[in-house]
Structure 1
Amino acid sequence: MVPQPPALTLTGSFMVGTGSDLSEVRATIDVVPRWDDAPMVGRASELAHLLARLDRAASGRTSSVVLAGDAGVGKTRLLDELTARAAARGVRVLLGHCVDLGDVGLPYLPFVDLLRPVAADPELVPAAASNPVLAALLAGQPVSSLPVLPVTEGRDLSRPLPHRAAPQPVDDGRLQLFESVAGLICELASSTPLLIVLEDVHWADRSSRDLLRYLLARLVDVPVAVVASYRADDLHRRHPLRPLLAELVRLPGVERLELAPLPDSEVGTLVRRLAAGAGSLPESTVEDVVARAEGNAFYAEELLAAGLHGEALPLGLTDVLLARVEQRSPAAQQVLRTAAVAGRRVRHELVAAVGELGGGELEEALAEAVHHHLLVVSDDGYRFRHALLREAVLADLLPGERVRLHAAIATYLAREPGAGTAAERAHHARESNDLPGALSASLEAATAACCVGAPAEQLQYLEAVLALWSAVPDAAERAGRDQVALLLETAAAARMVGELHRAVALLRSALDLLGTDADPVTRARVHYTLAQAMVRVEDLTGAHRESSAAMALVPADPPSEVRTWAAATHARMAYSLMLVDEGDAAAEEALTAADALGLDSAWSDTAVSQVRSRQDTDAAAVQRRLDEALMRASRSGDVDVEMRVLFNRATFAFEDGRIAESLDWTRRATSRARELGMEWSFYPAELRHLQVTALYMLGHWDESLAEADLLARVPEMAAHVRAAGLLVQVGRGDAEAQQRLAWARELIPRLNAHVLLSLVTAAAEIDLAAWAGDAEAAVRIATDTSRRLQLLWESDHLGVLRLVASALHPVADAAVAARLLGDTGAARRWTATGEPLVDIARSAVAGFREQVGEMGVEGTAWLARVEAETARLRGDATTELWRAAVEAFGFGHVYEEARSRWRLAEALLACDDRAGAAEQAGLAHEVAVRLGAVPLRTALEALSRRGRLDVGGVRTVDVSAVMTPREAEVLRLLAQGRTNRQIGAELYISEKTASVHVSNILAKLGANGRTEAVAIAAQRGMLV
């Protein structure tokens, strides 16, 4: 028998005064249904399913369920039953609740809630007390080890949060926090199986959602079950939980369980059981309750409670809920109104301070609310039994009373140290129309969010400040900056979390606010900052226009910081549009001025732009230049420029075919970005994408896919990072690739200019179509995407080479199959279908060489693949071209090298070089097995059977064991596309006899037609 774990949830009685006091109160209250003690009705299958998942977790395999249902449908009752059963089985239970705090939530609140019992008992997990990140989190304090660093291109653009007057905390990044929580959970589960229940995740803040996704992906083989519930009817189209749910249900071990409304018969049973202690209940009342409840257990309970107290049944649920409230004493109603304004959960001290009731009167009111099942005791106060009850009470408040209560709560929170967070104070100040207080508290909340590594919440609080700005006369004094500075700061925060389009909009607002008569230096700063944001959303022309405007506003002489950054930015934009002379002039000015003024970050940024524009520069000189740029950027403290230099170090190595070296640079950079809490800003996201790609190319597929899915939600402009995981999924033949493809396809129209997202999605779609033999789809996708890329990239669009090479694969297959069957018309049609793709590839190469220069190693490899596939398409699968493709991909692209070996083995087999074919197929098969590349492995094994090659222990079928000698001859002629009349003539038998042999062959192979029979025989190696 498993020993009973220590109680981690408060399940005992609520004590008021002494035990005798409580007994007297219970003795005097009316007879009401015991909701919490009533047997559960109608959820046997769902409970059994959850218990099965709990048993799976107890056996050491992590199991997770996302529980969905409308408000009041019975999620909480089901979870109460589950936790009770779990405790009875010796499972430790941790409960966490999400709270509705309006537009933004308190970072990590549900996890602080569920881990609070751990903090209260340090003997449970001794390591937690020594972990400063966990200690700060469990104490409800900011994680003080997270650094606050500049997030703008130039050091003078705006002040970071917290502003300069505040102390600068150090920030280890969210990943350390996430890993610490995961480690704590694993340590807890090491002694006793663990059940984690998170309720109402539709109210979860973004950071909590990210942590939940991370834990569900991270916890695999530990005895932990996780159940997260949410209101399905709250999830509107743009609800932030929707994309997270789409990701969660694709994780191994995670499933979604829908809690549907109860059937009328079950609602009737529930009503009768609840009313059993209150005497006979007219059937008409039962029918009335069932009809009004519409399958919602909570509605039924509340309707019944109203009826049992002699209340007229209301016309709507709100009336029913309020009818129960109105039966209580004025003091109890006052407590409920205070609690409703405070939130779903309220601390005892707050009720006592705000409720205007004396000690004894307050205790009696609370006991009345608890005993009549309006409030439920929690570990540090009370919560409404159901959120709908709180909402009904809140809706019934008069506007003046609501404002007064919010004001009282805000005053209490401000007066009592540690009583509440800045986020709570901001919420209550805003709702009490204390807009100055809301503004100040929102600024403080933004600082706190920054300190705990919650950049998304930081952005939301800053935007709340902007929304309040015009309504607060002394906003600038309170904020310590003017509105333009705050807009720049908010735009920088938006860029920090990868919300690039939002950053552009904020910067445009700053320009509009400044007007044409404002200080030219300030306007120039905003113009070039806007240019830096616009280039990252692929608006190169607009970015060049903004950098030009910045240059026109500030003179070059004398040199100044603003002019230097304007010139550095303009050089970059000019180079992007191939305006080399204009770029060179701006770059020389920026480098000279940066040296004169000691602006290392501007110098580094310009040096990178200059290096990128010169394709023929000596590699050693490039490396020295980038080394100096990295040194200067690090010295300057400008992390965004530092990330740009690191990205280019990784990119140059990648383009030169030094994939392992590139991976070293990306790992260094992404680790640094995590430390700085800026992992989804532009360059860290690009570095993450490059890292996912490099891991994929080197054959580290598990790590590549894990890196693509490291955190829960990526900004839309970083969607290509997650989409890059498609390459592994398609390569493995993973059925879940279709779900990720659907997600990516939905994003592409919204992100019209996102080249990398389009490219990686199309590449995956083409490969998927190719392995399915859908040549028409592959051609359509390749053609459409190539046209799109040529519009977006005026010169450098070599990405089409990959699309063309991949699309030629199934087209050439179709042409080869047609020739095998002697269908010359079909062969000509498929050849004609593939030729336009070849033209697209050659046009892209010619344009690149004319405008840019020689291609890198990857482009050269894909061109070699195009040439080899083109020859196969035309019926000339030469071994030399496929050897060239194998050698070209040998720079480090493990999978594509193996695919080229597969085709080389085919070509060698066609030349009757069986030993060479076996060698190449064997090398490719070894890679396919190691990577788990099922489609490639299947193709190689089919080739091995067809060619009777000794590869990977693949068994071939001896045709003589299946066919008679005559049937084998007929099969050979079938494969050549002969008709029955032609077979009979060649074998000197009648057409009728030939027909009988063909029928026998179809029956033995289980084929429905001649073409299918030939395909099956070829796959089994029966055609010699």
Structure 2
Amino acid sequence: MGPSLLCPALVGREDETAALREHLAAAERGRGGVVLLVGEPGVGKSRLLRDATDVARGLGLRVLAGRAVPGGSPVPHRPLTEAFLAAYRSAPPPTGPELDGFAGHLARLVPPWRGAGPAAVDDSPVVMGEAVLRLLRSGGAAVLALEDLHWADTETLAVLDHLVDALAEEPVLVVGTMRPEGAVAELRARLARRAPANVLAVDPLDGAGVDRMLAACLATPDPPAGVRAFLARRAEGVPLLVEELLAGLVAADELRFEHDHWVGAGELTPRVPASLRESVARRAEHLDPVARRVLAAAAVLGRRFDWELVPGIAEVDGRATVDGLRAAVAQHLVEVDGGGFAFRHALTREAVLDDLLPPERRELAQRAWPAVERAYPGLPGALCELAAELAEAAGAPVEAAARLVTAARRALAAGAVASAEVTARRAQRLAGADDRVVGDVDEVLVDVLVAAGKPREALELGHDLVARTTDPDRRLGLLLVLTRAAVGAGEVAEGARLLDLARAAADGRDLPALDAVAAHVALEQGRHGDAAALAHRVIDAATEPAVECEALEVLGRVEREFRAGSAVRWLARASEVAERAGLATWHLRAQQELALITWDTDALRATRALAARHGALTTVAVMDLSLADLALGHFDTDGALAASRACADASRRYGLATAAVAHLWLAGAHALAGDDAAMEAAIAQALAPDPTDPRILGDLHGRVLATRCLVADELGALRGHLDTMMTHVRAADPARSVFPGRALWALLHTIEDDDLGVAARAEFGEVAARIGLDLFRYAHTAAEAVALGRTGAGPEATALLTAARPEGRALEGGVGLLHCVQLLTAQAAVRDGWGDPATWLRESEAFFAEAGHARPARRCRIVLGRTGAPVPRRGRGGSVVPAPLRALGVTSREMDVLGLVALGLSTPEIGARLVLSPRTVERHLGNLFARTGLHDRRALAELARRHGVQGG
């Protein structure tokens, strides 16, 4: 027995090996990525990959490996499942904060983990990509090796596309092999544009490389005469063919290993194969007829095959099967694979199949198909696709289509919409005109198209299907699906027509699901009363939870337009029903609606946490965008920076439409921080998708640049930006943005214009009435009060604004904007002699000072000085003054005294502690009594405790 004929070392791949080792070293340092090895079949991609994984293990990196397989109906995430299942088959799901919310996604890759956590809500490929990334890095630096990506399913390719950018700062390297053709070619092209060094072309060996490989395969520097020239003519520089052709020579006994060296047995004739197919066929010829039947039967079952099914397919007994497999191993066609067998290469199996005549392949498939179905009831996993492939080869396309319907439904249920669509369309082709199966095929395809976001295609197919469907219940279910599709496509009239057909199919039956869909149609038609009545009818019927949630959502949306409090009640109930029934999607939808109605930081954060727990990371990004918006309105610099950065990062990772607004709010956060360079950079990114978008331009001038004017105390530039804002606001879709800067615009025109801003007040008044925000109502009232004050009606102006002041309420636009309105109103009141500007200015000064915005706080103090009222001073103390006390004029030194009063110290003791004279301490105490309206030390001590003041 001579050498194995497999090359023991890499030959002629020094450049590729060096590049891979550089990528591995970078991954070890936390700079990973995706690397593709691209070349023709057999050129040595897998050998390079094995060498890279050996190096990775030597560096201490974990290695996970999987491969794609050929097939007309791709199995979603097949190579990823193989990799993770091998690594985690007997391990429990890993835990940790980083993996929270991903249990549902990871369970799709590791079947034993199913049921270990909540189901995934967000089925987008980028979220699955993020789940893969986090699992990979959870155990430290890792390499994911994926072979034959030219056969990969759409979902796997989408995950890889996500990882191309996501791994740049991660200790994870993905190395994949691929042929130049196939769907993966698009991924290769994108990667080549982004990171050219990550696409490694693996070309055929030159003549010297083939010579070196031959010497390595035969373990001799001096092979028999003629073999080198033979390979130079026939192998075409392809390493696999070098090995296969050598194996063919040995199998034909034209090359023998005798007395520890190789000898040629005669002339190497042209009969020796010139391609892998010929090589495999020649070796198969040296098998006896029974062994060849065994080999062919194994080939129809796949590269890795269940050898126990082979006897029945080949029509031989168990001993003959074992002997046949032994012979195939000896001929280098099949190899032992753990406890089973596999073809030596995927190409080997292909060559065996290609060598079969069509009648031979059909006969084998006719026996293999029922054998597989008997051995694996229910056809779990990829076996359903295998059964369909065998049925098609057996001449039963309709039966193949029936099994593909099942495979498509499974893929759809797993969130693999793209694979479901490929499978369903193949089923459609195979079903032909068979009425028994065509209806099932079209029905699943309608569901798939709706899920894929193709409602118009679903409607086109569904219309014909409705005409062919005679079963009343199936017809009704299909019509409800199509009605939702029509509404989702914005075709409300068509939805109403389909709804009428659904009612007819119901034949007078009182069905809550029908009423729930009818409520949605009524809502889209603007018939709010009818929508509410139908929704109430559904709820009263106490139907299944999903239908009840649908009706409750309709009621919430109806009430949101008119009575926010009632909307909250209905949506909260929807949330409770969904949570109790385990309907994660409906629970999250209800919570999101609630958070956006209440516009409360705590509610937004709670919804964000819920979305993260369920793996709905796109919803997490939307909540971050809302939190950034709210923080910007509150003039909360740190909060705005954190939330806008998080959303911008998620938008980049997941390709979300929120990217432009996320960068706009990031620009606003930088404006709050006074970082003009960073603000301009973020503005450029916000405008990059569409520099003419009026929605972005409106808030750029009305919020970002207006905010910069306010925090920099450059009020002279404020009106110009607000006027520019309005040119864009009037061109924007009024339903997409609120544009809170309009409050400042109307107020400034009222303060400055000779006509008291009558047109601006009228325009803004209509907006305030229509939108109904408390901040807008207050700002409009402030503008009306300013107009009254300018005409000399001071008492009326004072009474009007006093009644409208939103004390103790958190406004939707943010308290920061409220204090900007208050500052501008106070300046006008001081100028025109009305109102209580000193109180307003002290409140706003305290807010700006506590928020860290020194310049507007200083502006408040300057204007306050014009009123003749005491101006708050920072004092020389070391205590932070809480905003409510600062609004009363309490200084930091007075806070020092207040803290010691809370400890019960006497005046001399306070003076000694603070190095002040007793007389100075008494003066500070007098100021505290005057500012707070209190009359004794005990009351001061209680005030200190109430505000968390601690002395010492």
**TM-score over 0.5 for the alignment?**
yes
Q: Given residue 584 of structure 1, which amino acid in structure 2 is its aligned partner? A: G
Structure 2 partner of 1:747: none
How far did 1:499 drift? 0.8
Cα distance per residue 1:878-901 (max 9 Å; x no partner): xxxxxx99x99x97999x99xx9x
User: 1:563 deviation in Å?
Assistant: 5.2
Whichever of the two has the greater Rg, that structure is: 2
Give, in whole Å, the separation in 2 of the partners of 1:723 and 1:398.
Answer: 59
Q: Which residue of 1 aligns with 2:334?
A: 375
Distance in 2, matches of 1:780 and 1:451, equals: 34
Correspondence list, 1:775-924, <5 A: 781-783=690-692, 785-786=693-694, 801-802=698-699, 840-844=727-731, 848=734, 858-861=738-741
> Partner of 1:198: helix, strand, or coil?
strand
Letter in 2 for 1:377: V
Does structure 2 retain, via aligned residues, the 8 Å contact 1:446–1:462? yes
Counterpart pick for 2:114 among 135, 143, 156 = 143
Aligned mate of 1:513, from 465, 480, 489: 465
In structure 2, the partner of 1:81 is 51
Structure 2 counterparts to residues 382-781 of structure 1, below 5 A: 382-417=341-376, 421-435=383-397, 437-439=399-401, 441-442=403-404, 445=407, 449=411, 469=431, 474-475=436-437, 483=439, 487=442, 491-492=446-447, 494-495=449-450, 498-501=451-454, 503-515=455-467, 526-537=478-489, 539-541=490-492, 546=497, 549-550=500-501, 553=504, 560-561=511-512, 564-575=515-526, 582-592=527-537, 595=540, 605=550, 608-609=553-554, 612=557, 617-631=562-576, 642=587, 644-653=589-598, 656=599, 658-669=600-611, 671-672=613-614, 674=615, 687-688=619-620, 690-694=622-626, 696-697=628-629, 698=639, 699-701=642-644, 703-704=646-647, 707-708=650-651, 720=657, 771=681, 781=690
Match of 2:65 in 1: 95
Paired position in structure 2 for 1:257: 199
Closer, same or farther: CA 399–805 of 1 in aligned 2, 3 Å: farther
- CA change 1:594–1:114 in 2 (3 A) is closer
Does residue 340 (structure 1) correspond to residue 310 (structure 2)? The answer is no
Name stretches of at least 5 consecutive residues in structure 1 with no aligned partner.
1-25, 28-32, 152-170, 477-482, 576-581, 734-766, 787-797, 813-830, 872-883, 905-915, 927-1024
Report the counterpart of residue 6 of structure 2 in structure 1.
36
Match of 2:739, SS?
Answer: helix
**Contact map agreement 1:782 1:807 (CA 8 A) in 2:** no
For the 8 Å contact 2:462–2:482, the answer to whether it is kept is: no
Equivalent positions of 1:142-291 (< 5 A) are 143=114, 186-187=138-139, 195-206=143-154, 208=156, 226-236=173-183, 239=184, 242=186, 246=190, 256-262=198-204, 264-270=206-212, 273=215, 274=217, 276=221, 278-281=223-226, 285=230, 288-289=233-234
Structure 2 counterpart of 1:949? none
Residues 803 and 399 (structure 1), Cα distance of their counterparts in 2 relative to 1, 3 Å cut: farther
* Distance 1:723-1:408 versus aligned 2 partners, 3 A rule: farther
Shift in Å at residue 452 of structure 1? 6.3
Task: Please give the secondary structure, in 2, of the residue aligned with 1:229.
Answer: strand
Deviations 1:526-560 (A, max 9, x none): 455324223434x3455555466558858998855
Change (3 A) 1:462 1:112: same
How many Å apart are 1:381 and its aligned residue? 2.9
CA drift of 1:642 comes to 5.0
1:505 match: secondary structure: helix
Aligned residues of 1:439 and 1:469 also touching (Cα < 8 A): yes
CA–CA distance in structure 1, aligned partners of residues 109 and 583 of structure 2? 33
Contact 2:702–2:740 (Cα < 8 Å) also in 1: no
Could you say if the C-alpha distance between residues 113 and 553 of structure 1 is closer, same or farther in structure 2, counting changes exceeding 3 Å?
same
Equivalent position SS for 1:500: coil
CA distance in 1: counterparts of 2:427 and 2:45, whole angstroms: 37
Q: Deviations over 1:746-797 (max 9, x none)?
A: xxxxxxxxxxxxxxxxxxxxx999649989x9699443x45xxxxxxxxxxx
**Using a 3 Å threshold, how does the CA distance of structure 1 residues 842 and 233 change in structure 2: closer, same or farther?**
closer
Q: Secondary structure at the match of 2:604?
A: helix
Q: Separation in 1 of the partners of 2:469 and 2:27?
A: 67
Match of 1:71 among 25, 36, 41: 41
Aligned pair in 2 of structure 1 residues 142, 455: CA closer, same or farther (>3 Å)? farther
TM-score normalised over the length of structure 2: 0.60
Contact residue 27 and residue 33 of structure 2 kept, 8 A: yes
Structure number with greater CO (CA < 8 Å, separation at least 6) is 1
Contact kept in structure 2, 1:213 and 1:248, CA below 8 Å = no
Aligned residue identity for 2:625: T
Partner of 2:904: none
Determine the C-alpha separation between the residues in 2 that align with 1:868 and 1:373: 87
Residue identity matched to 1:279: P
- What letter matches 1:343 in structure 2? G
Point out the more displaced range, 369-378 or 401-410.
369-378
Alpha carbons 2:664, 2:682 under 8 Å: kept:
no
The one-letter code of the counterpart of 2:610 is: R
Identity rate of aligned residues, in percent?
Answer: 21
User: What is the rounded CA distance, in whole Å, between the counterparts of 2:168 and 2:687 in structure 1?
Assistant: 37
Q: Is the contact made by 2:93 and 2:113 (CA closer than 8 Å) also made in structure 1?
A: no
Cα distance in 1 for partners of 2:853, 2:313 equals 74
Report the Cα offset of residue 652 of structure 1.
1.8
CA contact 2:84–2:110 (8 Å) conserved in 1: no
Structure 2: unaligned runs, 5 residues or longer: 255-267, 630-638, 671-676, 710-718, 752-774, 780-809, 825-844, 856-952
Q: 2:535·2:555 contact (CA, 8 Å) conserved in 1? A: no
Amino acid at match of 1:700: A
- What SS does the aligned partner of 1:233 have? coil
What's the CA shift for 1:574? 0.8
Shift of 1:47: 1.4
The answer to whether 1:111 aligns with 2:81 is yes
Q: By how many angstroms is 1:233 displaced? A: 1.3
Cα deviation 1:365-387 (Å, max 9, x = unaligned): 43443344333332243333333
Partner of 1:312: 270
Q: Answer whether contact 1:338 1:405 (CA < 8 A) is retained.
A: yes
Q: 1:547 to 1:860 in 2, by over 3 A?
A: farther
1:805-847 C-alpha deviation (Å, 9 max, x unpaired): 69999xx9xxxxxxxxxxxxxxxxxx99x999767424247x8
Structure 1 SS opposite 2:38: strand
Query: What code does the residue aligned with 1:399 have?
Result: P
- Equivalent residue letter for 1:328: H
TM-aligned CA distance change 1:617 to 1:69, over 3 Å? same
Rate the CA distance shift 1:602–1:368 in 2: closer, same or farther, 3 A: closer
Q: SS in structure 1 opposite 2:373?
A: helix
Asked whether the 8 Å contact 1:643–1:669 carries over to 2, the reply is: yes
Aligned residue for 1:258, secondary structure, equals strand
CA-atom RMSD in angstroms:
6.2
Which letter maps to 2:386? E
Q: Distance in 1 between matches of 2:628 and 2:459?
A: 37
Structure 1 residues 838 and 197, CA gap change in structure 2 (3 angstroms) = closer
Q: Distance in 2 between matches of 1:361 and 1:149?
A: 49
Distance in 1 (alpha carbons) for counterparts of 2:469 and 2:697: 47
Task: Name the SS of the counterpart of 1:80 in structure 2.
Answer: helix
Q: Distance in 2 between matches of 1:567 and 1:392?
A: 58
C-alpha offsets along residues 66-108 of structure 1, whole Å, 9 cap, x if unaligned? 4333332211111233344455667665432222232221654
